[in-house]
Amino acid sequence: MTHRFAELTSGQAERLLADRRRPVLLLPVGSTEPHGPHAPLATDPIISAGMCERVATALAGDPDVRVLVLPSLDYGVTRYTAGFRGRIHVSEEALEAMLHDICASLIEEGFPRIAIVNNHFEPEHVQTIHRALDRVEDETGVVVGYLDLTRKARATRLTEEFRRGECHAGRYETSLVLADRPELVDREAMAGLPYVPINLAAVIADGQKDFREMGLTQAYNGAPAEATAEEGEETYAALTEMLIEIVRALAAGTGGRDRSGLYGRV
């Protein structure tokens, strides 16, 4: 049987409820926005979907958990890339309503084990995710899973560039896209891009909210020219391990949601 939820028939979805393996549904989330002159607008959702697919594959034969991947939500709160062509911004209210309604609908249908898999880290976007999940929990008593990669404990398990906050279309993200959708990376443009040593977390903490003002004059920071598919696969392995921990906690009813950190309070 497919691991993509939307490819199931209604009857197959019904039978999931009686499966001895607890179904856990993963919702890939990310913005459609500029990622430098070399990487696709869909960089964030590509990474989220790549994580979900790898987890579903890794747990395909698991005796306790059945992982299914929901259709992705490829729109987010994205003001920082204003002025670069290709950005699609939705308001906090719209994103919160969509996430809330998707989760509430699945819970009503009998699927309470859901995890949000997000790779767009604009603070207002991350905050909105937490707010939506808070609403769901308050209304239903159900904890929706969330792997919040903006938390320090999560970042320490990822690459040095990610920990430096140089991870918008830099080596970190570009490597992940090269591992999953290499045909979408303009390698010639990538090879000519200089290193942009700007810590996004630091400049955001200073109150800056526009990439050009921050110094990301081409909508990237870090060192995309150093990206490799091999590093991307290594990073996917770390991301997959963390997401599997979330999945197992949800299945066991022992947690599964990272609570909001710095970005969640912005």
Domain regions of the chain by residue span: 5-157+236-265
Question: What pLDDT does residue 237 have?
Answer: 98
Which amino acid appears at position 31 of this protein? S
Contact of 246 with 143, CB cutoff 8 Å: no
The backbone torsions φ and ψ at residue 131, rounded to the nearest 5 degrees and listed phi first, read -65, -40
Question: What pLDDT does residue 121 have?
Answer: 95
> Is domain 5-157+236-265 annotated with CATH 3.30.930.10?
no
Structure tokens at 47: 């990474």
Question: What pLDDT does residue 266 have?
Answer: 41
Cα 142 from Cα 221, distance rounded (Å): 38
Furthest-apart CA pair in the chain: how many Å?
55
Per-residue pLDDT in tens (0 to 9) along the chain, 266 residues: 799 999 999 999 999 999 999 999 999 999 999 999 999 999 999 999 999 999 999 999 999 999 999 999 999 999 999 989 999 999 999 999 999 999 999 999 999 999 999 999 999 999 999 999 999 999 999 999 999 999 999 999 999 999 999 999 999 999 999 999 999 999 999 999 999 999 999 999 899 999 999 999 999 999 999 999 999 999 999 999 999 999 999 999 999 999 887 665 54
Torsion angle of the four alpha carbons 128, 134, 139, 140, in this order, in degrees rounded to the nearest 10: 110
Contact of 255 with 143, CB cutoff 8 Å: yes
Cα 10 from Cα 8, distance rounded (Å): 6
The backbone torsions φ and ψ at residue 113, rounded to the nearest 5 degrees and listed phi first, read -95, 100
Question: What pLDDT does residue 1 have?
Answer: 72
Cα 257 from Cα 54, distance rounded (Å): 20
Side-chain-side CA neighbours of 252 within 13 Å: the count stands at 10
Which residue shows structure tokens 């949601």? 257
